Chain A
Amino acid sequence: MAIHCPGCGAIHAYDVGSCLLCGADFDLPAPTGGTVLAVTRVDAPSIDHEEVPYWTALIETDSGQAIVKLESPAQVGDELSFGSSADESRAVVGLAGTGIMACGLAELLLKRGHRVIMWGRSDASVSKARAKVLDRLSRTMDEDELDTAAAAFNDTTNLTDFADCDIVVEAVAEDMAVKQAVLPGIEAAMRANTVLATNTSGLSLEDMAESLTRPEQFGALHFFNPPIRMKLVETAVCSKTSQETSAFLDTFAVSLGRVPIRVAATPAFAVNRALMPLLNEAVRELEDGVASAEDIDAAVRLGLNHPMGPLALCDLIGIDVVVNIMDNLVDRTGDESYAPRPLLRTMIEDGRLGRKTGTGFYDHSRR
């Protein structure tokens, strides 16, 4: 977005607040739409723009020019409208939970200037989570920025504090009973016109919605760990979710700089359903003596260009969590081929749950 300087008329496109030429202050508005001045269809893909063709247009808006990427053809003279994401970017966001995902989401939201209200069961858990989030932020913020973030970060053990929220994301333990126990309380505290989203990685939305009185304002926003780096958000709706809520889930994800992929509310959604059989098969390779754990991981990393091998990833996620997702897939699909390999069960019995216990497929105690 480029504007004319209110002082000297120079064209400014950087969000730097003031003009070095004349000293005038300025703000860059977010474009909401404009007229196409020039447009090109791009057929050669590049990193971050693998899908072709796409269209890139130079547009004239009310306040200046901007360059925008389009998924469909446009012609010179077309009027485009994007809708403002300003409302979403000011949203007060509630987070239920104090675990890894809740903390990661708080980091992402605070970094993007949102006010965050984090709820946890105990003073100890919320204060620990708060310290963790602020420590993470201190690695990329100066003292003033950190003070601003800390002031925008409210923690509470009282669900009624969610009354201030425009959206609440539930990120408690990945366990239906736990979720069903906490969701009605969150909903009761929220204002009537706000959205409640679960960060489930693929439990039944219908079962969760049963515990709610306003299921039309309920859906799934499944972020990936760590949210500040992982671009994907799987969005999903239940049978009662309204059109408005459904659209909001995607808009909100986009406003956070993420890429939403709409998935049917099926077990484990798209990513984990593809991942779990891969992890399970790697465990079977180990059971069958195909190669050592190190070599199976190296083979997948070097042969498939995965950033991390499947067994190392099991250790990172936690063996118990992996087994839980696989069991859930079997329960909900009836397909026994998703069943976790015996070695995974043995590891749980032995307390070898991965990084969190210091040992899994690898020994993590050295660091």
Chain B
Amino acid sequence: MGKTKFGPTVKTLVQLMHEAIGDALRDADLRAEDIQAFVVANFLGGPNNAQLHLNSVVAGLMPGLNLPSWRVEAACASGGVAMHQAILSLDAYDPILVVGVEHMSGVPGLEITRNIGMAGDVGLDQAAGLTFPANYAIVAQSHMQAYGTTTDDFDNVSHKNHRNARLNPKAHFHHKKVEMSDVQAGVTVAAPLRLFDCCPISDGAAAAIVSRSRTDGRSVRVLGSAVSSDVISLSQRAEKTTFAAARDAGARAYRQAGVSPGEIDLAEVHDCFTIAELVAMEDLGFAEPGRATARVRAGDTTLTGPLPINTGGGLKAGGHAIGATGVGQVYELVTQLRGEAGERQVARTGLGLSHNVGGVGGTCAVHIFGGER
């Protein structure tokens, strides 16, 4: 595994990928020549960086190898879908390198908001100004109406993730101390979501190497890998407080792994907005619908609780380098399961789950890692 720091940087897409891939190769004690294929996950290389065809760009970092390769785009779930595709492809190529990357800083505000909005439907959502925060604001409002969820519940998620980020040197907001009063004072972005309900615009890359054979005792087993999709726009759905794609991918990953939600020791869930962490907990069976708020309030999801969630700060405070996020979640889980997470190390490291959502639940990738070494 390899991961750059998430957050703004002057480094380019290719420099970020070089750093993450180099780290992953060294971490796995493999040479570039050992890799048999690679997958690149990225969302907005076209509109943000005028760079598509990223698999060929990565080939330029390993000239002469001429490996099978391709690029995956599924909005914010690009990384998780790329992990899934790599795992599916192990029959043909082994080992496979997965690298996720995004560079968003420096794009003017109006443009970046429009570009991220491309995760929504161009006619149904974008035409009506339903930006990405606005989508999740509708989900938040629906959750509040259905279950009595309050902005205090959102603040609890945000504050927990910011505290975790302080212990993660690769987190976007590692250097920023965020008090509950800061969270509460955030300006409105899309009511009821305020600044500290929203993940930041991050740059970064993460890389993983998947294989049928383990290279050493630090290898972590993939027990489940599932991707599901759903209609893209909230206007096409009956339910606004839960994502069918997440429920479906979760159920299939649990079935593959032969485990139940209650057996999961820690999870990285897609908290692009605070409401999304609550919805994720409910979709993955960590709480009954509408009851995730109680578990967060009880401290269950803190580093020392029975189910630590987003131990590295999540997307909210760890950063959301979109194409890299799904791979970055796996980096955090693997680091925890190996017992190498330092100050933020959790106690129980049997089973870890990652949950990576594209758009407002149009795509979801769920992976389960761990088991016997």
Could you tell me which residues of chain B, from 1 to 52, have a CB within 8 Å of some CB in chain A?
5, 7-10, 14-15, 18, 21-22, 25, 31-33
Interface of A is mostly: loop
A346 contacts B by Cβ under 8 Å: no
Q: Which residues of B contact A362 (CB under 8 A)?
A: none
Interface of B is mostly: loop
A50 contacts B by Cβ under 8 Å: no
Shortest beta-carbon distance from A88 to chain B in Å:
19
A10 close to B64 (CB less than 8 A): yes
Q: What band does the interface of chain B fall in when counting residues whose beta carbon is under 8 Å from A?
A: 20 to 34
Shortest beta-carbon distance from A324 to chain B in Å:
28
A14 close to B62 (CB less than 8 A): no
B261 contacts A by Cβ under 8 Å: no
**A-B CB proximity, top 3 nearest:** A16-B18, A140-B105, A10-B63
Could you tell me which residues of chain A, from 1 to 58, have a CB within 8 Å of some CB in chain B?
10-18, 20-21
A132 contacts B by Cβ under 8 Å: no
Q: What band does the interface of chain A fall in when counting residues whose beta carbon is under 8 Å from B?
A: 20 to 34
Q: How far is the CA of A18 from the CA of B62 in the complex (A)?
A: 11
Q: Which residue of A lies closest to B204 (CB)?
A: A142
17 additional contacts, CB 8 Å, given A14-B61, A20-B61, A139-B105?
Answer: A11-B63, A12-B63, A13-B60, A14-B14, A14-B15, A16-B14, A18-B18, A20-B32, A21-B31, A21-B33, A21-B63, A21-B64, A140-B105, A141-B9, A142-B9, A145-B10, A229-B108
B53 contacts A by Cβ under 8 Å: no
Q: How far is the CA of A140 from the CA of B10 in the complex (A)?
A: 6
Shortest beta-carbon distance from A367 to chain B in Å:
11
Q: How far is the CA of A50 from the CA of B14 in the complex (A)?
A: 28
Interface centre among A21, A111, A145, A229 (most CB of B within 10 A): A21
Q: Which residues of A contact B9 (CB under 8 A)?
A: 140-142, 145
Q: Which residue of A lies closest to B22 (CB)?
A: A20
Residues of B in contact with A (beta carbons under 8 Å apart): 5, 7-10, 14-15, 18, 21-22, 25, 31-33, 60-65, 105-106, 108, 175
A87 contacts B by Cβ under 8 Å: no
B105 close to A21 (CB less than 8 A): no
Shortest beta-carbon distance from B129 to chain A in Å:
17
Shortest beta-carbon distance from B256 to chain A in Å:
33
Q: How far is the CA of A15 from the CA of B63 in the complex (A)?
A: 14
Q: How far is the CA of A111 from the CA of B105 in the complex (A)?
A: 13
Shortest beta-carbon distance from B203 to chain A in Å:
8
A138 contacts B by Cβ under 8 Å: yes
A14 close to B18 (CB less than 8 A): yes
Q: Which residue of A lies closest to B201 (CB)?
A: A139
A20 close to B62 (CB less than 8 A): yes
A141 close to B33 (CB less than 8 A): no
Q: Which residues of B contact A11 (CB under 8 A)?
A: 63
Q: Which residues of B contact A141 (CB under 8 A)?
A: 8-10
Shortest beta-carbon distance from A227 to chain B in Å:
14
Q: Which residues of B contact A18 (CB under 8 A)?
A: 18, 22
Q: Which residues of B contact A10 (CB under 8 A)?
A: 63-64
Q: How far is the CA of A328 from the CA of B304 in the complex (A)?
A: 69
Contact with B along A170-200 (1 / 0, CB 8 A): 0000000000000000000000000000000
B175 close to A143 (CB less than 8 A): yes
Q: Which residue of A lies closest to B6 (CB)?
A: A142
Q: How far is the CA of A140 from the CA of B65 in the complex (A)?
A: 33
Take A141-B8, A142-B5, A145-B9 as given contacts and tell me if A15 and B62 are in contact as well, using a CB distance cutoff of 8 Å.
no
Q: Which residues of B contact A16 (CB under 8 A)?
A: 14-15, 18, 61
Q: How far is the CA of A143 from the CA of B176 in the complex (A)?
A: 11
A140 close to B21 (CB less than 8 A): no
Shortest beta-carbon distance from A59 to chain B in Å:
19
Q: How far is the CA of A11 from the CA of B15 in the complex (A)?
A: 16
Shortest beta-carbon distance from B102 to chain A in Å:
14
Q: Which residue of A lies closest to B110 (CB)?
A: A307
Interface pairs (30), CB distance under 8 Å: A12-B63, A14-B14, A14-B15, A14-B18, A14-B60, A14-B61, A15-B15, A16-B14, A16-B61, A18-B18, A18-B22, A20-B18, A21-B32, A21-B63, A21-B64, A111-B10, A139-B8, A139-B105, A139-B106, A140-B8, A140-B10, A140-B105, A140-B106, A141-B9, A141-B10, A142-B5, A142-B9, A143-B175, A145-B9, A145-B10
Q: Which residues of B contact A14 (CB under 8 A)?
A: 14-15, 18, 60-61
Q: Which residues of B contact A143 (CB under 8 A)?
A: 175
Take A16-B18, A21-B33, A143-B175 as given contacts and tell me if A138 and B8 are in contact as well, using a CB distance cutoff of 8 Å.
yes
Shortest beta-carbon distance from A222 to chain B in Å:
22
Interface centre among A16, A17, A141 (most CB of B within 10 A): A16
Q: Which residues of B contact A15 (CB under 8 A)?
A: 15
Q: Which residues of B contact A229 (CB under 8 A)?
A: 108
Q: Which residue of B lies closest to A9 (CB)?
A: B64
Q: Which residues of B contact A139 (CB under 8 A)?
A: 8, 105-106
Q: How far is the CA of A222 from the CA of B60 in the complex (A)?
A: 39
Q: How far is the CA of A140 from the CA of B106 in the complex (A)?
A: 6
Shortest beta-carbon distance from B25 to chain A in Å:
7
Shortest beta-carbon distance from A231 to chain B in Å:
14
Q: Which residues of B contact A145 (CB under 8 A)?
A: 9-10
Q: Which residue of A lies closest to B172 (CB)?
A: A142
Q: Which residue of A lies closest to B17 (CB)?
A: A16
